[in-house]
Amino acid sequence: MASTLALKQRIKSVKGTRQITKAMQLVSASKMRRAQDYAFRSRPYRDAAYGLLARLNSVREVADLPLYKQRPVKTRLYVVITSNSGLAGAYNANVLKLLTKALREDDKAKINSHVIAIGNKGAQFVRRLDDVELLSVYPALGDHPSANDIRPVLNDIVAKYADSEVDEVQLIYTMFKSQLAQQATSVALLPASTDGIEKLDGPVLTEFEPDLETVVAQITTRLIEAQVWQAVLESQASEHSMRMIAMKNATDNAKDLIDDYTLELNTARQAAITQELAEITGGAEALNG
């Protein structure tokens, strides 16, 4: 059994940790509510962008444009969204597990894998992998990302696909469903297609001004931006939610640990008192004898 001094030090240490985890829980709860509100409010815009994509794919001439043209996949680019810090439960692990599964499939199919990491945790993971090229890292988008924060990622993705440096682009992030449910998800960004989108019936007659290439290139770029933007918002809401739950569990565990140490401390004190009483009694009997 540990000494009473050691047990007091442990209790003090755990109480300090509990204060930290409780504070982190409250901060994450506050951030989660804001992030959740942003994610929910922007979903209709993302859905409208999908609808526009379905309309564009119904235009026959669009299939030959750079961002729509499908090629045999020899090089695949993954855009992976993780956090800049840990202590968020399985948030990063779920995304990286999905990425690892995709990379293994690419390796079997002899497909080159490239990664653009949004978040330091994803970059740290990819740097340790062999035969996977980390093209760029965007570590800090902040709690309130703006279009200017997303645009460098967007430009990087569009340029690499349009220049045929990569043949397909996948976006891996965490979808926010509720405070207790989040799911790591992979969606196709490029080539722009209608996979998973309800297609329109019949041909669509549309006139483009000034010309088809200019209009569709601008619209498609904005569509990809909407997808990346929504993925970032969903990921932030998921991160704060999972960190809030993780810190709540840590706080509860600290309380249980303090109770266990307190019980052990009281037991040690009682044992010491009993021993002292026994020694006093023994000494008194020795004197009387």
| Amino acid at site 17 | T
- The mean pLDDT value for 112-140 works out to 89
**According to the model, what pLDDT value does residue 94 have?**
92
Phi and psi, residue 83, nearest 5°: -95, 170
In angstroms, the CA 235 to CA 178 distance is 12
Half-sphere exposure of 181 (CA within 13 A, CB side): 2
How, if at all, do strands 132-138 and 182-190 pair? unpaired
**According to the model, what pLDDT value does residue 227 have?**
86
Tens of pLDDT along 66-113?
Answer: 778 888 999 999 999 998 888 888 889 999 999 999 999 999 999 999
| Amino acid at site 42 | S
User: Which of the given ranges, 143-147, 199-203, 237-241, has the highest pLDDT on average?
Assistant: 237-241
Name which residue leads in pLDDT, 20 or 214.
Answer: 20
Helix (H, G, I), strand (E, B) or coil at 174: strand
Q: Using a pLDDT cut of 70, give the percent of the chain over it.
A: 86
**According to the model, what pLDDT value does residue 2 have?**
62
**According to the model, what pLDDT value does residue 82 have?**
92
**According to the model, what pLDDT value does residue 178 have?**
83
Tens of pLDDT along 207-218?
Answer: 555 656 666 777
- The mean pLDDT value for 231-236 works out to 90
CATH fit for domain 23-245, picks 3.30.980.20, 3.40.630.10, 3.40.1380.10, 1.10.260.40? 3.40.1380.10
The sign of the torsion formed by the CA atoms of 22, 26, 27, 31 equals: positive
How, if at all, do strands 168-176 and 182-190 pair? antiparallel
Which of 98, 77, 86, 88 lies closest to 185 in space, CA to CA? 98
Domain boundaries, the chain: 23-245
**According to the model, what pLDDT value does residue 77 have?**
94
**According to the model, what pLDDT value does residue 197 have?**
47
Q: Which stretches of the chain are DSSP H helices?
A: 4-57, 91-108, 120-127, 147-162, 212-288
Q: How confident is the model at residue 289 (pLDDT cuts 50, 70, 90)?
A: low
**According to the model, what pLDDT value does residue 211 have?**
59
**According to the model, what pLDDT value does residue 194 have?**
52
Count CB-CB contacts under 10 A for residue 239: 27
Is the Cβ–Cβ distance between 171 and 231 less than 8 Å?
A: yes
Which of 172, 169, 153 lies closest to 161 in space, CA to CA? 169
In angstroms, the CA 142 to CA 83 distance is 10
In angstroms, the CA 195 to CA 188 distance is 8
Tens of pLDDT along 246-286?
Answer: 898 989 898 888 888 888 888 878 877 787 777 777 776 77
**According to the model, what pLDDT value does residue 74 have?**
92
**According to the model, what pLDDT value does residue 47 have?**
80
Which of 237, 230, 249 lies closest to 187 in space, CA to CA? 230
Q: How confident is the model at residue 193 (pLDDT cuts 50, 70, 90)?
A: low
Is 147's pLDDT higher than 60?
A: yes
Tens of pLDDT along 159-170?
Answer: 898 888 999 999
- The mean pLDDT value for 36-52 works out to 81
Q: What is the mean pLDDT of the chain?
A: 82
Which of 157, 181, 152 lies closest to 94 in space, CA to CA? 181
**According to the model, what pLDDT value does residue 113 have?**
92
How far are the Cα atoms of 2, 249, 261 from residue 14, in angstroms, in the given order? 16, 14, 10
Read off the tokens for 241: 């939610």
Phi and psi, residue 155, nearest 5°: -60, -40
